[in-house]
Structure 1
Amino acid sequence: MSALRAEWTKLRTAGDLGRLLLLAVALTAAVGCGTAEAVKCPDTGCGRDAVKLALTGVTVGQAVVAVLAVLAVSGEYGTGMIRTTLTAMPDRMTVFAAKATVLAAVVLASGTVAVLASLLGGRLLLPGSGFTEAHGYAPLSLADGPTLRAAAGSVLYLALVALLGLGVATAVRDAATAIGIVLGLLYVFPVVIGVVQDPEWQRHLQQVSPMTAGLAVQATVHVRELPIGPWAGLGVLAAWAAAALLAGGLLLRGRDA
């Protein structure tokens, strides 16, 4: 418990990290609402996924979450505070687990606010864009199973992105390098997928891409046509995050601070 309290205190008192959390929430909700306002559905059965449109902001907010997670670790290395932390708490794995737990809890809480705000914005704005019951779209509601899964999955997605960033930052220590690696993993895969011409290779890349596979959890229509199922896709991102945490934890334990 002392390790958790210490990590919570450090995260809570770091002003930049708090502002980044607010920015992540604001960007996620704003981009989702902007998309809901901009995309139109003029006819019945226009084929768009209204829930995924409302949650589009997650693709932007995740970048801020990744940066926040990296800075939560690299900031300590940059100031030398990590030596004080490890002197006060010699068990490095306890410190690492506490960092991961506190970061995940904070991102889960802020991610919940961001996702709920996005869905509320979608519920209010999408009917004005043609996503009406007359066109085959019921108002967005968490009482709908696929919508609830997309919402909960999006919150978990953001938390997993944070853990991915934490693991990479612990492994490489340098903030710029860690941010580049994490954002590259998230955003470069889709670019490569767009360049590849072979449909089978495209499908395989989509199945292993952290972002493409992970965001499959947001889909509520044409789910059987996805390269990977919603929860299986989120599991791919979880595997990336677990690998990063394992690498970071082993390097933290085996080298000098």
Structure 2
Amino acid sequence: MSPREALHAEWTKARTLSGTIWLLLGTVALTTVVSAATAAASTCRAADCDLDPARIGLGGIQLGQTTVAVLAVVAVAGEYSTGTIRVSLAAIPRRPLVLAAKAAVLTALVLAAGTAAVLASFLAGRHILPGNGVGPDHGLPTLSLADGPILRAVVGSVLYLVLIALLGLGVATAVRDSAAAIGTVLGLLYLFPILAAVVTDPGWHRRLQQIGPMTAGLAVQATTSRPDLPIGPWAGLGVLAAWAAAALLAGLLALRLRDA
């Protein structure tokens, strides 16, 4: 089977699964609602306010990523639970092509939903935050895509969701069980912030934030100069990309070395 046919097969699977559309819509809705609520709860009354409007306006990403992770896991672990993965591997004997096709389709779906979610969150923050004093009146930037750092935060947030999806796909391919894969992905995302919060040593606190896929990846949303930022914006997204690449490699090895 050619790569084009493999892509078509994976696209057919994705669009015929009833859960796909609901998880994509859930990503948009959950991200937007939480971002809007975060913006509504953020106020700035002091003359010098230490807030980052972009990070606040895009705050829903931290919860919206959960539905993206579930979507990625279901894309592959669901086939293992039903046994249809045997049909897929029989039709496409080249197992790396199977994983590549799944990754491509998943990337396209999350890219579309992530763009909608991030733009909706951005517009909600742009509308809500100035009324709460989080804006030029207190020396903070206006949320505008014409501003380079803010555009980077918006684009980086979409890429962040795509990388979370690829991380979930890799873990699910390696683990094969839906519940275990979801638990592993969410554990990787939220364990590092929890550990960083309880560690008292400043050096270890910073290291944990630098290597955690979520804490490092979300650094791409930073648009104001903060001395406590553990890692640079693009470097942080690179850390998440490394986690996703490692997960995909582990998934590919498991796919090639184990029977379906």
Task: Report the TM-score range of the alignment, normalised by the length of the smaller protein.
Answer: over 0.9
Corresponding letter in the other structure for 1:29: T
The match for 2:241 is: 238
| Structure 1 residues not aligned, in runs of 5+ | none
The match for 1:119 is: 122
Question: Which moved further from structure 2: 228-237 or 131-140?
Answer: 131-140
| Matched residue SS, 1:65 | helix
8 Å CA contact 1:213–1:234 kept in 2: the answer is yes
The alignment status of 1:25 with 2:32, answered yes or no, reads: no
Number of matched residues?
A: 257
Note the 1:48-67 alignment, pairs <5 A.
Answer: 48-67=51-70
The match for 2:215 is: 212
| Matched residue SS, 1:48 | coil
In 2: Cα distance, 1:110 partner to 1:161 partner: 13
8 Å CA contact 1:223–1:229 kept in 2: the answer is no
Corresponding letter in the other structure for 1:10: K
Corresponding letter in the other structure for 2:153: A
Note the 1:131-170 alignment, pairs <5 A.
Answer: 131-170=134-173
The match for 1:196 is: 199
The alignment status of 1:97 with 2:100, answered yes or no, reads: yes
Corresponding letter in the other structure for 2:223: T
Q: TM-score of the superposition, structure 1-length normalised? A: 0.98
- Alpha-carbon displacement from aligned partner over 1:31-50 (angstroms, at most 9, x marks no partner): 00111111111123211001
Percent identity, aligned pairs only, is 64
The match for 1:74 is: 77
- Equivalent of 1:5 in 5, 8, 11: 8
Corresponding letter in the other structure for 2:102: K
In 1: Cα distance, 2:134 partner to 2:230 partner: 26
Q: TM-score of the superposition, structure 2-length normalised? A: 0.97
Task: Return the offset for 1:133.
Answer: 2.4
8 Å CA contact 2:220–2:236 kept in 1: the answer is yes
